[in-house]
Amino acid sequence: MKYKAIKIGLTSVVLLLSFGGLLWSTLSEETQYYKHVDEVMTAPAQWEGKRLQMHGFAKSVMQKRGTLEYAFQVENNGHAVWAQFTGIAPDTFKNDSEVVLEGELKGEIFHAERIIAKCPSKYEPKAGAASVSGTY
Amino acid sequence: MASLGYFTLLATFLVAVYAATSSAVGARRGSRRLIESGIGAFYLITALMTLASTVIVHAFVTGDYTIKYVQRYSDSAQPLFYKLTSYWGGLDGSIMFWVTLLSVFGSIAVYVNRERHRELIPWVVTTISTVQLFFLFLMIVHNNPFDTFLTSAPTDGRGLNPLLQNYWMVIHPPSLYTGFVGMTIPFAFGIAALITGYLDDAWLRAVRRWTMFAWLFLTFGLTLGMIWAYEELGWGGYWGWDPVENAGLLPWFTATAFLHSVMVQERRSMLRVWNVTLVILTFFLTIFGTFMTRSGVVQSVHAFGEDKELAWMFTVFMAVILTVSFGLVIYRLPLLRARNELDSWASREAAFLVNNWILLFSAFFILFATMFPTLSEALTGERLTVGPPFFNRWMTPIGLILLFLTGVGPLLAWRKSSASNLLNQFAWPTTAAIVTTVVLWAIGLRVWTSGICFGLCGFVAGTITQEFWRGTLVRKNSTKSDVLTALIGLVARSRRRYGGYIVHVGVVLIFLGFAGEGYKQEEQVLLKAGQQVKVGRYTVRNDAIRISDDGRKQMVTSYMTVFDEGKEVGKLYPARWFFRKHESEPTTEVAIRRSISEDLYVVLAAYTVEDQTGSFQVVVNPLVNWIWLGFGVLALGTGIALLPERAFSYALARLPPEAPLPATAAPLVMLFLLLGSWAPLRAQEAVLPHEQLEQTVLLVPKTELEKDLHRSIICMCGTCGRKSLAECTCSEAARMREEIAGLASQGKSRDEIIQYHIDKYGSQEPLAAPIDRGFNRLAWLLPYALGAGGLVVAAFAAVRWSRHAAAAPKVADEASDSSAELEARLDDELSQLD
């Protein structure tokens, strides 16, 4: 009986440790910091090269003619940074729309790999539209 | 009309309070009258909720825009179909819909089980009514769907979100709710069993079917959600690990675990605490999922906005559920002790155990990862997030292990598998797995996770085929029929087992679809008119972009030509629709060219009409249709497993349907409606000519005496869980029924036949209930006497307490203590009687 208890105990410890370890290692690789633009831009050096989800408002959205390349600013509380993105942007990605950008800050420019349109009103539509400022 | 609705809700609240209290008090006092009135009130809740639902649906149809909810979720231009379904389009209405469904299911469950599980029913009523009370309370104080505009009501509504104006989205919520709400019934029976101490397998039998039914709808709801995401959201996939999706998946894991572990309890009387825990957890997770998505605790693209007050109410309710449920479990631990131990790890119960751990781990992992941003913010102040890759990295191996276990479980014997046994069982499935993997590798499909998945699919398919094949051979030889008849007869005889295997076939197909994901090809391009892009073997050309209007919406459509290996094979029309009043939120109309091997999926993401340019996402999704197909097979399997025993035996005996179909047939009927599935019906027909001969005699009692005996004598095979002969379908029961028929035809009386069985088995074991006579009558009487005694003591204590409450509260404590002690003893004795 005692032997069995030890066996079960050891098995559980090993299982728990290995799962915990796996969880920890994958978590540290896969997690991203969720920050607002002003939090990042007050100390940009600290965030250089780290995976970020950056929350802010899109400004001066421009699309390069004939491509899927976008250049725009994200702004929050008076701090702003230039960002670039290539690919299909969500519908709600326009001037003044609230966005979360997934990517990395490299130098002066935030390289976004994904744009998530923050849309708290998804089920409660609001009126008012914004549009792309122009092309470049 | 709005005030009628609101008053109905208020009335329902009062009735629910009455139902909960009178049932509880009735059960405590053993008052049949109170219990009956509680049940009556419980049925009344259903009637009132139906009335309230009628009021809101009427308001939607007639366009009563003075009601805020109606104004917000519909408008006059909407087709009737969407007006009706706007009922559950928003939060307030969906809560009401929830209560309505719960009242209907609760009433059915109580009605069906009112005789069979008489002792549990009052507590079932109390539990379900309490859950209803919570939601009714929410509606009355916080989310009243009948709220009206006090001044200047708008003349038209804002309209249902266009994204939700989709056929799949219309049937998705009711299906998911059916699954969620259905899980309340097993929970209520579990709680009732814990309170009364009737913790034998009776309550499990009452809820097994319900769980299966709810599980089926939950699965259906999840699948519909996937189809909707795939067709309507237009990002090329079907599952994004969004909190809202995860919320539906959490109880699915625990319910699946329960459906498996319940077999271990039935067979081996093990895992009793575990099963109760799973039932409680499943229910808890349905509430938690609702909380997570509705309170704004977790950020999601389609969460419903932050609502602190609602979050608090849910938190309190969840705390109550956990405290009460697990308090009861701990209190009843002595009664829940397992009667057997695990004999070997090479046994089926061990496989089930591992399967349960993994399912539960999946649930907790998803819960953890979904809550991770919230947790990290609460703990460290930093908001850390995890994305779909994190989920995928964990859930891929977990899914593969589960798939592997799906194949292993049926191959292992109960108790212990011997080495030769293992070899004999595993040889073919393993060969199937190896052959599949090697062939696919040789063809050049080399994505390793998908490869493993295909191999495992081969393994599970091998297992299932082997099970069917061996079973059919045995039956063919014993019934001397042809293979097909034997196969159908086999499935008909053990519907749960073979239905379960068919569910597994569905799971295999679904996994095939998941594995196809590994070969996905995707391009994002900007195409001018006449330009084309090549993805996989397809070339897609943008011919033109045009605008049209149908009065409800403006449609921007791209006209595209598809070439397969250079040959023109058809046209595709991806579009964006701008619904009136929702112009800022165009919907994506994906163009899909479906085939059994792969889908060509084209999304028009953005466009400029003047230069005829569009940005397109072109995706080739291999095997994706197997997921939907797999669900169909899974539903078929569940339907077979759900087939009610009696309906089946009547059908087999070709009796006129004079006896009303048991209410358990309802899910079946729904299922058939849902799937238009005629296959099992046909199977029944085909089975008739052969089965009829051997079973008319066996299954159908010819006289009242036999019918009575079938109910009072249980099957003695030892594996059926003490089912009465009227219910049991195993061969031993058939033999016993035949024996009774023989004795009855010899002119033996009821008592003589019962005595015959007592002599034969050496005790009263074969009797469903102890004989109501002599010493045995004392056994019947004792609990009643004790119950009455307890009531007298409780009443005495109450009187004393009310008299001395102010003067000497200490005395009161002593009195209630002694009555509590007595009640505990009473409960123990009652449970020992069983």
Range B442-462 burial, b when 16+ CB lie within 10 A, else e: eeeeebebbbbbbbbbbbbbb
* Contact between B637 and B503 (Cβ < 8 Å): yes
**Which tokens go with A104?**
């990395």
Q: Is the pLDDT of residue B214 over 80?
A: yes
A35 touches chain B (CB under 8 A): yes
* Contact between B773 and B729 (Cβ < 8 Å): no
Q: Tell me the C-alpha distance between B307 and B675, whole Å.
A: 38
Q: How many CB atoms lie within 10 A of CB B431?
A: 13
Query: Are the beta carbons of A35 and B617 separated by less than 8 Å?
Result: no
Q: Is the pLDDT of residue B688 over 60?
A: no
Q: Tell me the C-alpha distance between B681 and B679, whole Å.
A: 5
The pLDDT value recorded for residue A40 is 83
The pLDDT value recorded for residue B808 is 40
pLDDT single digits (tens) B364-387: 999 988 888 888 888 887 778 887
The pLDDT value recorded for residue A124 is 37
The pLDDT value recorded for residue B692 is 32
Per the model's pLDDT, the better-predicted residue between A12 and B690 turns out to be A12
The pLDDT value recorded for residue B478 is 87
Q: Is the pLDDT of residue B769 over 90?
A: no
Task: Kindly state the average pLDDT of the residues B107-115.
Answer: 92
DSSP per position, B168-187: HHHHHHHHHHHHHHHTHHHH
Question: For residue B585, which residues of chain A lie inside 8 Å, CB to CB?
Answer: 91-92, 125
Q: How many CB atoms lie within 10 A of CB B718?
A: 9
Q: Tell me the C-alpha distance between B4 and A90, whole Å.
A: 44
Percent of chain A with pLDDT over 70: 85
B449 touches chain A (CB under 8 A): no
Per the model's pLDDT, the better-predicted residue between B470 and B171 turns out to be B470
Task: Kindly state the average pLDDT of the residues B84-90.
Answer: 85
Query: A34, A65, A100: best mutation site toward chain B, by most B Cβ within 10 Å?
Result: A34
Query: Are the beta carbons of B302 and A125 separated by less than 8 Å?
Result: no
* Contact between B42 and B12 (Cβ < 8 Å): no
Question: For residue B390, which residues of chain A lie inside 8 Å, CB to CB?
Answer: 26-27, 30-31
pLDDT single digits (tens) B221-260: 999 989 888 888 777 888 888 888 899 999 999 999 999 9
The pLDDT value recorded for residue B669 is 43
* Contact between B513 and B237 (Cβ < 8 Å): no
* Contact between B531 and B541 (Cβ < 8 Å): yes
Most confidently predicted of B149-158, B438-447, B604-613, B623-632 = B623-632
Q: What is the β-pairing status of strands A79-86 and A109-117?
A: parallel
Q: Is the pLDDT of residue B831 over 60?
A: no
Per the model's pLDDT, the better-predicted residue between B101 and B800 turns out to be B101
The pLDDT value recorded for residue A63 is 82
Q: Which of B161, B361, B524 sits opposite A68 (nearest CB)?
A: B524
* Contact between B133 and B14 (Cβ < 8 Å): no
Task: Kindly state the average pLDDT of the residues B771-780.
Answer: 48
**Residue B175 CA: distances (Å) to CA of B215, B407, B628, B712:** 10, 29, 16, 39
Scanning A71-100 for CB atoms below 8 A from B yields 87-89, 91-92
pLDDT single digits (tens) B281-323: 999 999 998 888 776 666 654 444 567 788 888 999 999 999 9
Q: Which of B394, B524, B582 sits opposite A125 (nearest CB)?
A: B582
Cα Rg of chain A (Å, integer): 22
**Which tokens go with B733?**
């029961």
- Angle at CA B512, nearest 5°, toward B511 and B516? 110
B235 touches chain A (CB under 8 A): no
Among B31-40, B298-307, B762-771, name the one with the lowest average pLDDT.
B298-307
The pLDDT value recorded for residue B805 is 41
The pLDDT value recorded for residue B665 is 46
The pLDDT value recorded for residue B345 is 81
The pLDDT value recorded for residue B806 is 43
The pLDDT value recorded for residue B301 is 47
Q: Tell me the C-alpha distance between B779 and B119, whole Å.
A: 16
At CB < 8 A and 24+ separation, what contacts does B449-453 make? Answer: B449/B396, B449/B400, B449/B515, B449/B518, B450/B515, B450/B516, B450/B517, B450/B518, B450/B519, B452/B400, B453/B400, B453/B403, B453/B511, B453/B512, B453/B514, B453/B515, B453/B518
Picking from B121, B298, B260, B95, the residue whose alpha carbon sits closest to that of residue B181 is B95
Scanning B38-77 for CB atoms below 8 A from A yields 72
Q: Tell me the C-alpha distance between B655 and B658, whole Å.
A: 8
Query: Are the beta carbons of A26 and B390 separated by less than 8 Å?
Result: yes
Task: Kindly state the average pLDDT of the residues B571-577.
Answer: 91
3-class DSSP state of B725: coil
Among B9-13, B638-642, B714-718, name the one with the lowest average pLDDT.
B714-718
Picking from B571, B440, B445, the residue whose alpha carbon sits closest to that of residue B520 is B445
The pLDDT value recorded for residue B6 is 93
* Contact between A35 and A47 (Cβ < 8 Å): yes
Residue B7, H or E segment: helix B2-29
Q: Is the pLDDT of residue B834 over 60?
A: no
Q: For tokens 């005694």, name the residue.
A: B789
Among B183-197, B584-598, B737-751, B774-788, name the one with the lowest average pLDDT.
B774-788
A65 touches chain B (CB under 8 A): no
**Residue B569 CA: distances (Å) to CA of B575, B593, B600:** 20, 10, 12
> Which residue(s) pair with B601 in the sheet?
B592, B619
Please give the DSSP secondary-structure letter assigned to residue B229. I
Q: Tell me the C-alpha distance between B340 and B727, whole Å.
A: 26
Q: Is the pLDDT of residue A126 over 90?
A: no
Identity (one letter) of the amino acid at B672?
F
The pLDDT value recorded for residue A87 is 84
The pLDDT value recorded for residue B318 is 94
DSSP per position, B22-67: HHHHHHHHT-HHHHHHHHHHHHHHHHHHHHHHHHHHHHHHHT-TTB
Per the model's pLDDT, the better-predicted residue between B764 and B239 turns out to be B239
Calculate the average pLDDT of chain B: 81
Task: Kindly state the average pLDDT of the residues B29-51.
Answer: 94
Q: Which of A32, A122, A126 sits opposite B385 (nearest CB)?
A: A32
Cα Rg of chain B (Å, integer): 30
- Tell which phi-psi region holds residue B533, choosing left (phi > 0), alpha (psi between -120 and 50) or beta: beta
Q: Tell me the C-alpha distance between A16 and B364, whole Å.
A: 13
SS (H, E, C) B308-343: HHHHHHHHHHHHHHHHHHHHHHHHCHHHHCCCCCCC
**pLDDT band of B110, cuts 50, 70, 90:** very high
pTM, two decimals, is 0.76
Question: For residue A89, which residues of chain B lie inside 8 Å, CB to CB?
Answer: 605-606
Q: Is the pLDDT of residue B827 over 80?
A: no
Q: Tell me the C-alpha distance between B199 and B765, whole Å.
A: 19
Torsions phi, psi of B622, nearest 5? -75, 145
**Residue B38 CA: distances (Å) to CA of B35, B109, B128:** 5, 15, 12
Nearest CA in chain A to B586: A91
* Contact between B273 and B333 (Cβ < 8 Å): yes
A127 touches chain B (CB under 8 A): yes
pLDDT single digits (tens) B175-198: 989 999 999 999 999 999 999 988
Q: Is the pLDDT of residue B783 over 60?
A: no
The pLDDT value recorded for residue A133 is 38
Among B189-193, B565-569, B632-636, B793-797, name the one with the lowest average pLDDT.
B793-797
- Tell which phi-psi region holds residue B697, choosing left (phi > 0), alpha (psi between -120 and 50) or beta: alpha
Among B4-8, B205-209, B359-363, name the one with the lowest average pLDDT.
B205-209
Which residues contact residue B249 at a Cβ distance below 8 angstroms, ignoring those fewer than 6 apart? B222, B363, B366
Query: Are the beta carbons of B161 and A123 separated by less than 8 Å?
Result: yes
**Residue B139 CA: distances (Å) to CA of B225, B307, B699:** 26, 14, 50
The pLDDT value recorded for residue A5 is 78
Q: Is the pLDDT of residue B12 over 50?
A: yes
Q: How many CB atoms lie within 10 A of CB B735?
A: 14
